[in-house]
Every structure is written in structure tokens, then in C-alpha cells.
Amino acid sequence: MAGTVKALMIGDVVGEPGMKALFAGLGPLVRSTGASLVVVNGENALGGFGIGKEEADKLFSIGVQVITSGNHVWERPGSAELLEASPMLLRPANYPPGVPGTGLALLESGGARWAVINLQGREFMSPIDCPFRRADELVARIAVESPGALVLVDFHAESVEEKEALAFYLDGRVSALAGTHTHVQTADERILPKGTGYLTDLGMTGPEDSVIGVKADICLRRGLTQMPIKMESAEGPATIRGALFELDAESGRCLKVERVLA
């Protein structure tokens, strides 16, 4: 393995608009970027909350190789069975032992070995197991099971501090760490001192005229009344947001990080 390879990581796909945007735009985006691996966070693909077999199958059919998720992956009936049956559909690895599914995918693509880790934060979220310690365990496991693999991390978390802290904790041990969950693409892409590519949040692949993918009028009423009004995915034109990480295939170091908006 020599030269450089590119990984395209796409932010939270929200509802039918996000799915349509990917269906139309992912192929051209992969061709224009030369990405060898496509990782998409799909936890909001089904109506804005959760993911079903139909959505997962569609994502895989258009060239997505690994689907990551987060706390909303459990929203739909049958999620446990779906996670157990789809090894390339991940849930955060730091849920307690015995939870269905896996948080690690090992695969080959574009002449390189890859490992994709899915983790979830704890600040302002559920107090699940420690993502730092779980990351240590998985990085050690990858070194044994797939030595030389390029390691990507989707850290599904609310806190910027927690995202940056985990990135520095793993700096030099993973090729790239990108945050998801907030649905707002950040502008802090950079390469950390030991060679790990970083972006606090990939952003949302979903409807533009919305509040983080939800109908704006519903969010306004929730804010004004403080009533638990049911949230619904917005409609209309959507955009794809994410990041492209260019990696040295031999050392695993990140050479370039570029935000994606399509």
C-alpha cells in the first residue's frame, strides 16, 4: 500500500429530503473527489428519527460502505434485529455490554484496509460507557485484527469540548475524527499535531429550509410555548454536507481536510 487515499464522511442524513439528495448527488461527489471510502451517518434517515432496513439498503446501494449512527438509531421498531443483521451499519461502540450490534467495521476499499469506529459522547447526553476507554480498546483490537488499517472515527456528541478532547486523546493513533449530531457543519477543520484530521461536526445532509432538519414552524411553537410538540422532518431542497480526508496510506497521517457542501 502506497500513495494517498481519500475518505468521504457525510453528516447526519435527515429524512426523505436527505435521502434524495444523496441518491442524486453521492455518485458525482465520489467521482469528483476520488474518495476510496464513503461513511455516512444515517441515524435520522427514516422520517428524521431512526433508520430502517429500506433506508439502510438504499444507502448501501448507492455506494455507501459504512453507515454510522448515534442515540436515535434505537427510535424505530426492529432496530436491534437490523443492527445484528448488518455488520456495516454501526451503533456507538460505548453502549454497555449486551447491546445489539457493533461499533466497529473492518473492511478493504481502494487498495487500503480501513477501520471505522462509531462512538457517542456523554456530556449533555445519556451517561453510557466512557468513549475514551472504549476507543483505547478498539484501537488496540484493530492493531491485532487489521494491522496497518486507516482508522476513522465518527464521534456522535453534543459537546465541542468533548469532541476536541477525544480527538487530541487519539491524535496520532487514528487517521481522522469527525463529529456528528448537532446537524451544523463547523469551520474548524484542521490536522492535529500528531497527524489526525479533525472536524468538530460534519453537518447535516437534509432540508435547507428547516431547523436542524425539522419543520421551522414546529420548532418555533416549541420554543414559544415550551410544549412537547412532536417534531417532524422538514421538506424541500436539501444539501449534502461532510468532509473529505486525504490520508497517507503508509503512515496513516492525514494530509488534508476539506469541508464538503454539495
Measured distance CA(142)–CA(137) in Å, rounded:
9
Measured distance CA(54)–CA(150) in Å, rounded:
29
Neighbours of 190 (CB within 10 A): 13
Residue 123 corresponds to which amino acid? E
Residue of 72, 156, 181, 183 with catalytic role:
72
Active site residue 181: no
Residues involved in catalysis:
72
